[in-house]
Structure 1
Amino acid sequence: MRSLKNLDIEKSIETRKLILEENWYDKFDTFTNYLMFLSLMLPTFWGLGDIKQSANSDIEYLFYLCPLSFGLYGFYCKFTEKNLKEIKFTIHKEEAKRRILEYGKKYNYRISKISKDLIFLNEPTDTLGLGNHETTTMVFFKDQSILYTLIKDASRLNVPVLISQHIIRNDFKKLLSLKKIENKTKRGYFSLFFFKD
């Protein structure tokens, strides 16, 4: 299980990188992830060098480039998972915090670690319920922007978050760019047909 002990909020915001105390298991886990992605990439490099030009060489290139691309992307995600990505906004900081909290409640995140400049949005990663492992979206608040990252916790290997970081970035951008959020009640089919806005 991943440890997020002694997180220095101020230094993390200053450096735009998570500053926290790591134990030996976290370091070993990071090394194992790098080794896993490298072991996926290295054979594909050798395979690409052995391809001879023929009618089927395009398929062979595709066969080798897919795992190579995945390995490079996974390695990059693990290498940059502690880097904080920034989204700027023009609304008030407290309004941004309120919107993020509402977003967390709407999508059933377990919200924790609420402080002046930090919110954790926790989402379960174990679909079978074998443990209390989660993907944590850490949101730091500055005056006119948020800094965030996603950290995945698993029972054996803490692999990096590959896709949901892009989804959450789009959600946060939309959420923080709206001037005013209107609470409209959802209408049924017949009321939409007979009554117009």
Structure 2
Amino acid sequence: MKRFSHLIALASVALSMSGVAHAQSKPDLAAGAAKAAVCMACHTADGSRGLAANPILQGQHPEYLVKQLTEFKEGKRKNAVMNGMAAPLSTQDMIDIAAFFASKKPVPGQARDAESVKQGESIWRGGIAKKGVPACAGCHSPNGAGIPSQYPRLGGQHYDYTKAQLVAFRQGERTNNAQMTAIAANLSDKEIHALADYIAGLR
């Protein structure tokens, strides 16, 4: 699959993050599907558009998913449910689960607030110079597809989830990305709303 041309590199990235010295793990989609069964209650059978409070995982970059699972396991990212779910996972489990969800084609979402979507687009594409907020598109790409192994796909993500994460970064409740903490610190409630809604409709 085209999406997995970079997955061999994923193994070494994930292993280095977890401190494991072995080098040659490869993703197993079939194993990932089986291991992801416990994830499906919250993230649906293919990581698609389930409850708005839970992130959409389908089509997400596998490197990003492994990084988040690793940080949940290590306690660098706090979430009572996910800390517990990630705790028993091995690095290979994470690689397999990430590969399974990443293999699913993203389903487009939709913005819902026509009045604020233009503001969201302005911030996404141009940032807010007077606040030192950079353009989101610089890291997450103009269409929200992100950059594999560096920045996650955001396009089509649930409004509720994106808003909650931006607020958590701003309030210092989510601490596993210093860059996002610094950016969100300069966003108002109105700007977060506009961004989250615009992101929901990106494709």
After TM superposition, the score normalised by the length of structure 1 is 0.30
The structure whose residues are more often helix, as a share, is 2
After TM superposition, the score normalised by the length of structure 2 is 0.30
The structure whose residues are more often strand, as a share, is 1
* Structure with max Cα Rg: 1
